[in-house]
Amino acid sequence: MSHKEVQDDYMATEEHDFKMMEVRCPVCDSDNTKVTQRIMDIPHFPQLWFFNMICSDCNFKHNDFINLSFKDPVRYIYHAENKEDYTSKIIRAANGTIIFPQIGAMIEPGPNADGFVNNIEGILHDIRGKTLFLLGDADSDEEREKIRNYVNLLDSYIQDNLPIDIVVEDPFGNSSIIPADPSKLETITLSPEEAERLKTGFIVFEKAKDKID
């Protein structure tokens, strides 16, 4: 299942309290910027506020999820072992970090980080695509060989559903894992010190906060 198909699946869940407003773009300061808000009821998960910003002038876009249950800083660890486990859904808010320890892959928030919904297999496909893109910038045959070997490693996990852990961390508790097998999911509350060490993204709704409230 592709990233878009997974996201469409979740967008088909119950939505209410749809709102739209105009704010200033955090990039070009244009007034021609629309913010869309939805409260989403996703099965087996607390209510989420889905936030989307689009600037018609500079084409800046941003998506994010806010967990309306106001959770503590959290770390989820899922131990995937088979094809069914690979269908476990990951809700990654803009401030969430995703780590695959066995393959040395990490997705950290940055200035343009977006929230997204995908499954484990879909995220591995995304990592594979970004890795292949690096081939064009490789400076040597040795570097290209390392990239190809890493792609082959990813292929072995994707095709054979090899055992792999996925770690999701979020200092604001907005990211989560919806597990195929709940017995394989660990949930750990982070200390304030651990939460402060995590990277955070660009929270664009801060400028609109007064109007949203």
Give the per-residue pLDDT at 19: 65
Give the per-residue pLDDT at 109: 84
Q: What burial letters (b/e) apply to 21-31, b meaning 16+ CB within 10 Å?
A: eebebbbeebe
DSSP string, 88-124: -EEEE-TT-EEEEGGGTEEE---TT---EEEEHHHHH
Say how many domains are in the chain: 1
Tokens encoding 14: 């119950």
Q: Exposure of 141 by Cβ count < 10 A (0-12 exposed, 13-18 middle, 19+ buried)?
A: exposed
Q: What are phi and psi of 206, to 5 degrees?
A: -60, -40
What is the number of other CB atoms lying within 10 angstroms of the CB of residue 9?
A: 14
Give the per-residue pLDDT at 156: 97
- What separation in angstroms does the CA of 150 have from each of 17, 105, 111, 153? 45, 10, 27, 5
- Find, among 148, 150, 152, the residue nearest to 135 by Cα: 148
Residue 167: domain span: 3-212
pLDDT tens per residue, range 138-191? 889 999 999 999 999 999 999 999 999 999 999 988 888 999 999 999 999 999
pLDDT along the chain (213 residues), means of 10: 42 51 82 79 62 83 68 93 96 90 91 81 95 88 93 96 97 89 95 89 41 34
Query: What is the CATH classification number for the domain harbouring 16?
Result: 2.60.120.1040
Give the per-residue pLDDT at 44: 52
